[in-house]
Amino acid sequence: MPAPTSINPNNALNFSGGPGALPQGVLTQVQAAIQNVPEVGLSILGISHRSDWFAAVVQELEDNIRALLGLDNTYHVLFLQGGATQQFSMVPMSFLAGKIQLPEYLHTGYWSSKALGEARRITPLRVLWDGESQGFSRLPRDEELDFSADAPYFHYISNETVEGLQFNRVLGRDDVPRICDMSSDFLSKPCEAERFSLIYAHAQKNIGPAGVTVVLIRDELLHTMPDNLPGWLDYRSHIKAHSNYNTPPVFAIYVVLLITRW
């Protein structure tokens, strides 16, 4: 039976920045899975993260996300913990080895302030445009941005939910790794994902419950990473372990799978 395309009309409307409302058809499937996943005979809350069933869930979800975004196998799809906040640190830890030039960031609102704060713990950086003096009331125009061809990467937030500011175009240079926090609009619209070297999005704003963060990373970006990163903070560890380096959030990942099926 096809899943309904609307939320439960009996639920209150939530106009806060998140979590996003999930479709009623997905909620019904989640409700049933909490009692019993038929092909396993257990509640989703009690299924082992080392089971063949969960490995199949992860593989299907990887495939679904690639298909939805039109990405090939040159991109790795990861399901990590720590939210976007962990990515604010992992990105500068991972992609500055041997680099002289500074990474480039935009300061467009609350979430970019968080990203900048974490990155500055690790490296000096170049802020290409800063909207704080204007109260984060607008986004930069193309002519206000002077991108460097030598930057190790360029980072920005696609949608600043606190201020209500969303980019409707891809920024940056195609010859510089483009990294974007798409937490609040991931899978909500086309995004030319193939133009990005790394995309991350925590699930709770748009595609599921809190606890899992989707990371898409182009394979060639891995070759620039240092060798002395802690295992849990090394994208390569999670790729090798198929997002099972440590106990993953089985329930949250399963709900995201249901969303991609829907």
Domain for residue 23, yes or no?
A: no
Task: Please indicate, yes or no, if residue 61 is contained in any of the structural domains.
Answer: no
In a domain, 256, yes or no: no
Q: Is the pLDDT of residue 13 over 90?
A: no
The answer to whether residue 65 sits within a structural domain is no
Catalytic residue among 129, 142, 175, 181: 181
The answer to whether position 83 is within a domain reads: yes
> 197 lies in which domain range?
72-243
Indicate which residue of 72, 111, 114, 174 is catalytic: 111
Mean pLDDT within 184-188: 93
CA proximity to 239, closest of 64, 56, 73, 28 = 73
Assess contact for 104 and 232: CB atoms under 8 A: no
Spell out a b/e string for 164-198, using b for 16 or more CB atoms within 10 Å of the CB, else e.
Answer: ebebeeebbeeebbbbbbbbbbbbeeebebeebbb
pLDDT of 54-83, one tens digit each?
A: 999 999 999 999 999 999 999 999 999 999
227 belongs to the catalytic site: no
* Amino acid making up residue 57: V
CATH of the domain at 222: 3.40.640.10
Contact yes or no for 151/104 (Cβ under 8 A):
yes
Q: Which amino acid is at 157?
A: I
For residue 1, the model assigns a pLDDT of 39
Residue 51 resides in a domain: no
In this prediction the pTM is: 0.94
Distance of alpha carbon 238 from alpha carbon 217, whole angstroms: 11
- Distance in angstroms between the alpha carbons of the first and the last residue of the chain: 11
- 222 contact partners, CB below 8 Å, separation of at least 6: 76, 235, 236, 239
232 is catalytic: no
Total tally of structural domains belonging to the chain: 1
Kindly state whether residue 168 falls inside one of the protein's structural domains.
yes
Identify the active-site residue in 205, 234, 240, 262.
Answer: 205
- Check if 181 is active-site: yes
